[in-house]
Amino acid sequence: MNLIAPLALTLGATLPIVVIFYLLKVRRHDEEVSSTFLWNDLIRDLAAHEPLQRLKTSLLLLLQLLALALITFTVARPFSEQIGKKPVQAILLVDGSASMQAQDVQPSRFARAVEAARSTLAALPENSLATAILVAAHPQVLVAATSDRRQVDRALADARPSGAAADMREALLLARSLGGDANARRIYLFTDGAFTLPTDLPDDLGSVSVVPVGQPDTGNLAVTTISARPDPQDNRRQQLFARAENLSDTAAHAVLTMSVDGQAVEDRAIDVAPNGQSEQIFEQLPAGAQWASVTISDTNGDNGLTLDDTAYAVLVQHKPAQVLLVSAGNQFLEKVLTLLPNVDLYRIASQRYLAVEADRFDIIVFDNYLPPLLPRGNLLVVNPPDRGPYRTTGSISRPRVATWDHEDPILAFADIRDMNVNRASRLDVPRWAKPLISTADGVPLMVAGQDGDRRVVILPFDLQQSNLPLMAAFPILMDNLVNYLSPSGVVQSSAVQTGAPETLSPLPQVDRVRVATPDQQVTEFRAGQGPITYAATDVPGLYRVQQIVQGGQQTVDDDLFAANLANSSASDIRPRLAGLDNPGPLDAGLTILQKELWAILAAIVLPLLLFEWFWFHRRV
């Protein structure tokens, strides 16, 4: 037997302290007696013999010394050497992708995978370290490198599958980096294999054992695409496009049910060939509807995965942007803004700006003018004055366009290479702004960016001192600018794939943003810190976004976005993984293990202390 911490034996020096405690006076409570006449004689007897008699005969002292000695020995961590299996560093990857919710095996593929992972965990050699990772759209480390198997087991039992496609490559790379020494690392992947192995995996993954779950020939019907657009004949109405796929090797007879705002509107019977698809267009959706869904159901009742049977689409209806033009008079701006669709234009002279409630406009165009206090809406600032929120330092004569960001949506299809400017202000580029058009000297001629809650575009020159209003690119540029500056609602995109993030851009006056998932889980975010990235989109369905103002008293512009699996590959739940299983070469030989004995010693000390406690209370 050896000791891991032999220095701890110095704690044995405390043993004499216990003996000293027995020699010290103790705190006594007073008791009145008729006379101490007899006790006086007794004390003389006791006093003459007490120290030696106690040390010789006190069972309590013996028990305490024994307990202290055992504790000292326990702290020194004695161990014995035994022959046993080499410990490993096990990485348990549990596939939490959408296909794992298939119930071709009972209760589900995911439950089977968890069960297999827990069995593997229990069979690991002693002293092994285990890491549990849930493979989802982004892999989640449930427990990292611990020898506490109960902790890992609890984490596995608590894991839940996602409704999204999994990023297997990222999970395997994470497993490799968390697994430590390659010789001891062993990756276990519990999966249905319903994915194609990424081609760019590194070669040094080491030992990978694939534990398959699920039936190999399980087919699936899915709505893999859904999209809404305005009806070309009547743009007040919308059309719905849906693609249904038969991801099996047998032909399917199915019914597509189209619903609007939760009410079934149309059933359409379809036949889909093996591994084929059927594209359907639903027209004449009711005007004013908020959302639509398409559900596929197999007439035979067979369907491997249910979460991709329904796809949702939000029926987006843009309102015209409310634009306020603050100018002493600019025919070019007035003309182009009047002509642009989806713009309601209002004009005001600069000197009368303060008489207008500017905060209610979506876009404010300041031409050769800036108020001391900026309004809340998005801004197009043309030729800002020297003093003000957007400072300029001097001017530049006849700047030439040298570079422009033609990939930016603001400059899409706008050819401004021939733009000439007679004189431009030298703008101090704010930190939040990105130059879109610059001269060879780096002087910006157009910047854009997100200043807190508002979007701002600045043109640091007078339009009437340039040929820009006369160019063909001008109306295109202005259309792009209005699109950029128009509020598109709080949600950035009306549809995302499950697991993909949604960007929420609350209105400036909003205090909080509340998101309700399809299963009515509600999350609140504080607004005012710029766009919010919402990533908890694992559940397919409709997410409702509320913007709350005035401390929760009101909500403004509730918005919806849809999350759909919308992924043929993810909906194909047939196992097709090959080439990953590579269990060896792992040195699984025997080794000498140090088996610590503290648990046994603790099991002795505890009852010993309990008995000591009992004996102490029994004697008095």
Partner 1 sequence: MSNPQTLLDGALARKLERLTLVSRKRLVGQGQGDRRSLRKGSSLEFADYRHYVEGDDPARVDWNIYSRTDTLFVRIYEEEEVLNVHMLVDASRSMDWGEPSKLHYARRLAATLGYIALNASNRLFVWPLSGSAVSYGPAWGRGRAGPMLSFTEDIKPAQPQTPVLAGLHAPPDLEQSLASFTSRTAGLLVLVSDLLSPSWEKALGRLVARSGDMVVLHTLSPQELRPTLGGDVRLIDRESGAAVSVTLNNDAIRLYGQRLDEWRRTVESFCARHGVGYVPIDTATPIETLIFDVLRRRGIVQ
Interface residues toward partner 1, by CB under 8 A: 25-43, 45-46, 53, 619-620
CB 295 within 8 A of CB 257: yes
Other beta carbons within 10 Å of 615: 13
Residue 29 or 352 with smaller CB distance to partner 1: 29
Task: Report DSSP letters for 322-346, one per residue.
Answer: EEEEE-S--HHHHHHHHHSTTEEEE
Instruction: Tell the smallest beta-carbon distance from residue 40 to partner 1 (Å).
Output: 6
Q: List Cβ<8 Å contacts ≥24 apart for 429-436.
A: 430/390, 433/458, 434/405, 434/408, 435/405, 436/404, 436/405, 436/408, 436/410, 436/411
Other beta carbons within 10 Å of 29: 4
Residue 24 or 355 with smaller CB distance to partner 1: 24
CA dist., res. 260 & res. 291, Å (int): 6
What is residue 320's three-state secondary structure? Answer: coil
CA geometry: angle 389, 393, 399, nearest 5 deg: 115
Instruction: Tell the smallest beta-carbon distance from residue 150 to partner 1 (Å).
Output: 44
Phi-psi group of 206: left, alpha or beta (phi > 0 → left; psi -120 to 50 → alpha; rest → beta): left
Residue 24 or 599 with smaller CB distance to partner 1: 24
Pairing state between β 89-95 and 129-135 = parallel
CA dist., res. 541 & res. 164, Å (int): 12
Candidates 457, 366, 472; CA nearest to 417 is: 472
Residue 31 or 519 with smaller CB distance to partner 1: 31
Residue 40 or 233 with smaller CB distance to partner 1: 40
Instruction: Tell the smallest beta-carbon distance from residue 38 to partner 1 (Å).
Output: 5
Alpha carbon of residue 587 to chain centroid: 38
Q: Which two tokens stand for residue 279?
A: 């594209």
Instruction: Tell the smallest beta-carbon distance from residue 76 to partner 1 (Å).
Output: 34
Q: Which two tokens stand for residue 358?
A: 């500017």
Instruction: Tell the smallest beta-carbon distance from residue 21 to partner 1 (Å).
Output: 13
Instruction: Tell the smallest beta-carbon distance from residue 612 to partner 1 (Å).
Output: 15
Containing 313, the helix (H) or strand (E) segment is strand 310-314
Residue 29 or 150 with smaller CB distance to partner 1: 29
Residue 42 or 535 with smaller CB distance to partner 1: 42
Residue at 493: amino acid letter: S
Residue 551 per-residue DSSP state: T
Containing 39, the helix (H) or strand (E) segment is helix 37-57
Residue 28 or 236 with smaller CB distance to partner 1: 28
CA dist., res. 383 & res. 326, Å (int): 12
Residue 47 or 599 with smaller CB distance to partner 1: 47
- List 1's β-bridge partners, or say none: none
Q: Which two tokens stand for residue 505?
A: 């851009």
Instruction: Tell the smallest beta-carbon distance from residue 597 to partner 1 (Å).
Output: 36
Residue 28 or 150 with smaller CB distance to partner 1: 28
Instruction: Tell the smallest beta-carbon distance from residue 7 to partner 1 (Å).
Output: 37
Gyration radius from the chain CA atoms? 38
Residue 7 or 47 with smaller CB distance to partner 1: 47
Residue 26 or 122 with smaller CB distance to partner 1: 26
Instruction: Tell the smallest beta-carbon distance from residue 47 to partner 1 (Å).
Output: 9
Q: Which two tokens stand for residue 434?
A: 């990105």
Instruction: Tell the smallest beta-carbon distance from residue 6 to partner 1 (Å).
Output: 39
Residue 27 or 236 with smaller CB distance to partner 1: 27
Instruction: Tell the smallest beta-carbon distance from residue 33 to partner 1 (Å).
Output: 5
CA dist., res. 535 & res. 526, Å (int): 16
CA dist., res. 56 & res. 79, Å (int): 33
Pairing state between β 221-230 and 129-135 = unpaired
Backbone angles phi, psi at 111, to 5 degrees: -60, -40
Instruction: Tell the smallest beta-carbon distance from residue 25 to partner 1 (Å).
Output: 7
Residue 32 or 204 with smaller CB distance to partner 1: 32
Q: Which two tokens stand for residue 490?
A: 């709080």
Instruction: Tell the smallest beta-carbon distance from residue 54 to partner 1 (Å).
Output: 9
CB 573 within 8 A of CB 54: no
Instruction: Tell the smallest beta-carbon distance from residue 28 to partner 1 (Å).
Output: 4
Sheet containing 343-348: give its strands across. 343-348, 321-326, 363-367, 378-382, 454-459, 444-451, 433-438, 403-404
